[in-house]
């Protein structure tokens, strides 16, 4: 387990990659944008980037729709 800040809230999550975290949140990795420690993480590398103690992440997911 590691302590991170996710969208402004401190959380304890399982160690693993950012892609693992996104999946555990029930989100589709193809439909999210992730910022880690104020840097955008390219979607193609989400499975390669490991979470570290104290990481600050912002995850935004895209929702379809419109007029």
Task: Report pLDDT digits (tens) over 6-33.
Answer: 999 999 999 999 999 999 999 999 999 9
HSE, CB side, 13 Å, CA atoms: give it for residue 57.
28
- Domain chopping of the chain, boundaries: 2-61
pTM here? 0.89
**Considering the domain 2-61, what is its CATH architecture?**
Roll (3.10)
Mean pLDDT of 34-49: 97
Across the chain, what does the average pLDDT equal? 94
pLDDT at residue 62, rounded to an integer: 80
């Amino acid at each position: 387990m590691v302590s991170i800040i996710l969208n402004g809230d401190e959380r304890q999550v399982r160690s693993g990659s950012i892609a693992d975290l996104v999946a555990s949140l029930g989100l589709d990795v193809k439909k999210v944008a992730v910022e880690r420690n104020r840097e955008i993480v390219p979607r193609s590398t989400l499975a390669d980037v490991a979470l570290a103690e104290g990481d600050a992440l912002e995850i935004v997911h895209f929702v379809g729709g419109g007029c």
